[in-house]
Each structure stands twice: as structure tokens, then as C-alpha cells.
């Protein structure tokens, strides 16, 4: 894996110019991947939680709100289980590559989706609220409010269970899966969120949580390569200190805690330190698997450019605003009333906002990030050929 793209990170203006050029250009790509397989959490969930609602599993009320409008209002005009007003990064990747929007695994498993074409589409295993680590890890730490049991390990089990429907021999799987793009994440964000919600020290998070999360991601990558995966896109974490949610629960009057974009510097450092360790592990794996393409996707800087200069991307609302949150949040966003509740009215034009519901981003923000990754050649390693 090359690291030449890092030199761009010290030149924000260059990043902005390239992104604006990307938006102004249009191109029709060839279908360089036949299918996409996605693992992750709410950043990539295209409906697994939606189809899980009718099972015997208990879904916390805060999670089931995604099944209500205004979620999905912009593009789909109805809730689909996506944690945004419209499409996600994974959707824009599929559109760009000429692949149908990924169907959720639980819809296929439950028989609710019957038109799935395994040789032409792919599957999404991501679930809102998922962690990289098994929930038992958090229970041992005294954290019991994990949103779902569908951890990364469970999602990998789903894929392996579905594999006979995709290919039926070792050689056949390697050929078919070798033409597929595997999204392994973003995953791990919720593993950091849970201790941060409980005000766990940064030292404890970096010492206890982060190494285990990265080991789980690494193990998953190895197992996917073993069955035939050749191209794996592994996103890092977003700039946590720019999150509307964290800006409210960690609000301070000490202006020295904020950077010029209005983000909390110490929280962004947590994300950057995590990403640095993940990147190092991906480099190690690439050496072990020289015939694969393990791509680091820098979600952090792709998103941070939006917070840094929002008006250049058409966003007229600041980092401290979100489209779909209760009025008069007053630094107490962790209330029981959230987007999806009848009393919470979304803004008139989500495209002017970076943050959708205080935690997740708007379709407009996700679109910019996807374009940067696909066309900018800045936020991924130079070997990455993503069409």
C-alpha cells in the first residue's frame, strides 16, 4: 500500500479544489466489479434493521425510529432503514459502478426480498448499531445497552452461510469473489461510541478497545481473503469531534478546545489515532497478501473538508446545526426525543446541512464523500482502482 496520498492532507485548499472539480465533471464508468458485499453499521445499513423489526429480536425504541419519516424522505420518499434522509456512501458506490443498490441480507433470508440475483448484485450485511466486537466484550466492561447483537463476526457468519448461493466450489468462489468489491466497514465507530458515552478515559479506550477492534477487522479481512476476496475497501473513522452529537454532550465554554472548523480537537485526535493504527494494520495485511488489493478509505479527511469549508460545498449551516433534531437542543442532545419522533420536524432543505440527525450525515454530505473517494484519488491509496 502506498502512502503518497498523505502529502495532500497538509494542503486543505488542494483538497477542496479537487473535490469541486470532481463535482463539476461527469463520467460514465464501466462495470469494473460485478458485485459489492458490505459489512458495517448504520453508515452502510440499507435495510437490515428494517427487515429485522418483524422478528422476535428486541429492537430499542431509539433504533426503530429509522423506520419512520423523515428518514428516507429525499430520495426514496419513504423509510428504507437507511440512517439518513436519502442515499448512503455505499449507494453512491453501487450507482457509480452500475450495480443495483445493495439488498439487505435479512430481507433475503426472511423471504421478503425474492428478486435477488446473486451473480449480478451483491448483498449488504451492515446493521445499524453494530459493533466490531461481540456484545459480550462490552458486558464485561459494564456496558449493557448495545443496540444489536449483529456484530461484525455475526455478519461474517451470514456471508459464509450465503456463500453456497453465490458459488459452489473453491475455485469458482475465488473467480466470482475476485470480481467483487468488499466493503469492510465503516465498523468500529460504535465500539468507540459506547465507552465515550460513558465518559471513559481516552487512555482506556486506546489501550483496551482500539486494539481489539482492529484485531477483529483484521481477522475478518483474512477470512474473506481465504474464500476468494481480492479487493477490500476498509474505511477509517469519521472526525468524531465534528459530530453534532458529541459537540453537544462534550460542550465546553473553553474555546481553546475547538479547532477553526468548530470541532473538538481531543475527540478528533481519538479518531485520527484509531485510523493511524488501522492503516498500519492494513499495511501489514497487504504485505501478507501481495496478490490482493487492501484499500484504506480515509473517511476522516473526506468528511473533515466539508466541516472545514461548508459553504464551498453548498452547505449553509454550520457544524453545530443538524437538520432533524429537536428544537432548542441546548447542549443536551442525549434526550429521549430524536429524529423520527412525531414531534421532531426536519428542516426544509437537508441538502444545506452536513448533519442529518445529529449522528449521521445527510445524503448531500455522503454524496460528496463518495465522489471524493471514487474520483478524487486523494482519500484512497494510489493503487486503488475503484473504476
**Residues annotated as catalytic (active site), given as ranges:** 42, 357, 360
* Cα–Cα distance measured from residue 259 to residue 154, given in angstroms and rounded to the nearest whole number: 38
* Cα–Cα distance measured from residue 380 to residue 2, given in angstroms and rounded to the nearest whole number: 9
* Cα–Cα distance measured from residue 112 to residue 104, given in angstroms and rounded to the nearest whole number: 10
- Residue 331, SS3 per DSSP: coil
Q: Which of 192, 181, 99, 178 is nearest to 141 (CA)?
A: 192
Q: Which of 88, 275, 270 is nearest to 193 (CA)?
A: 270
| Cβ proximity of 155 and 127 under 8 Å | yes
| Cβ proximity of 379 and 6 under 8 Å | no
- Residues in CB range of 118: below 8 A, 6 or more apart: 35, 165, 166
Which three three-digit cell numbers place residue 102?
Answer: 445493495
Q: Which of 157, 149, 187 is nearest to 58 (CA)?
A: 149
Place of cell 434526550: 335
Beta strand spans in the chain (E)? 35-39, 103-104, 122-124, 180-184, 231-235, 293-297
| Cβ proximity of 250 and 314 under 8 Å | no
Distances (CA, A) of 13 to 19, 299, 379: 10, 18, 14
| Cβ proximity of 132 and 213 under 8 Å | yes
| Cβ proximity of 127 and 150 under 8 Å | yes
* Cα–Cα distance measured from residue 39 to residue 98, given in angstroms and rounded to the nearest whole number: 20
Amino acid at each position: 500500500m502506498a502512502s503518497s496520498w498523505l502529502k495532500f492532507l497538509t494542503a486543505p485548499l488542494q483538497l477542496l479544489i479537487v473535490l469541486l472539480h470532481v463535482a463539476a465533471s461527469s463520467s460514465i464508468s464501466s462495470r469494473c466489479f460485478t458485485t459489492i458485499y458490505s459489512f458495517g453499521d448504520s453508515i452502510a445499513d440499507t435495510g437490515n434493521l428494517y427487515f429485522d423489526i418483524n422478528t422476535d429480536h428486541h429492537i430499542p425504541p431509539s433504533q426503530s425510529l429509522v423506520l419512520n419519516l423523515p428518514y428516507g424522505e429525499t430520495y426514496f420518499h419513504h423509510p428504507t432503514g437507511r440512517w439518513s434522509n436519502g442515499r448512503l456512501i455505499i449507494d453512491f458506490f453501487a450507482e457509480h459502478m452500475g450495480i443495483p443498490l445493495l439488498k439487505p441480507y435479512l430481507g433475503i433470508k426472511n423471504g421478503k426480498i425474492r428478486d435477488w440475483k446473486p451473480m449480478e448484485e451483491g448483498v449488504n450485511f451492515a446493521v445499524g448499531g453494530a459493533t466490531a466486537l461481540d456484545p459480550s466484550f462490552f458486558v464485561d466492561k459494564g456496558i449493557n445497552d448495545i443496540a444489536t447483537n449483529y456484530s461484525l463476526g455475526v455478519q461474517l457468519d451470514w456471508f459464509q452461510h450465503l456463500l453456497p448461493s453465490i458459488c459452489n466450489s473453491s475455485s469458482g468462489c475465488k473467480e466470482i469473489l475476485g470480481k467483487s468489491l468488499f466493503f469492510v466497514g465503516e465498523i468500529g465507530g460504535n465500539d468507540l461510541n459506547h465507552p465515550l458515552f460513558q465518559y471513559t478515559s481516552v487512555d482506556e479506550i486506546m489501550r483496551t478497545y482500539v486494539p481489539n477492534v482492529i484485531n477483529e477487522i483484521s481477522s475478518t479481512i483474512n477470512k474473506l481473503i481465504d474464500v476468494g476476496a481480492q479487493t477490500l475497501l476498509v474505511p477509517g473513522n469519521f472526525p468524531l469531534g465534528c459530530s453534532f452529537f458529541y459537540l453537544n454532550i462534550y460542550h465546553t465554554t473553553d474555546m481553546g478546545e475547538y479547532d477553526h472548523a468548530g470541532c473538538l480537537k481531543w475527540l478528533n485526535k481519538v479518531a485520527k489515532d484509531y485510523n493511524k493504527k488501522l492503516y498500519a494494520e492494513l499495511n501489514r495485511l497487504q504485505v501478507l497478501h501481495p496478490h490482493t488489493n487492501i484499500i484504506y478509505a480515509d473517511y476522516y479527511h473526506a468528511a473533515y473538508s466539508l466541516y472545514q469549508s461548508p459553504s464551498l460545498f453548498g452547505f449553509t449551516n454550520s457544524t453545530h446545526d443538524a437538520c432533524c433534531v429537536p428544537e432548542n437542543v441546548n447542549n443536551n442532545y442525549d434526550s429521549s426525543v430524536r429524529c423520527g419522533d412525531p414531534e421532531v420536524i426536519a428542516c426544509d432543505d437537508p441538502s444545506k446541512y452536513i448533519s442529518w440527525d445529529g449522528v449521521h450525515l445527510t445524503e448531500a454530505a455522503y454524496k460528496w464523500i463518495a465522489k471524493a473517494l471514487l474520483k478524487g484519488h486523494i482519500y484512497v491509496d494510489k493503487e486503488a482502482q475503484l473504476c
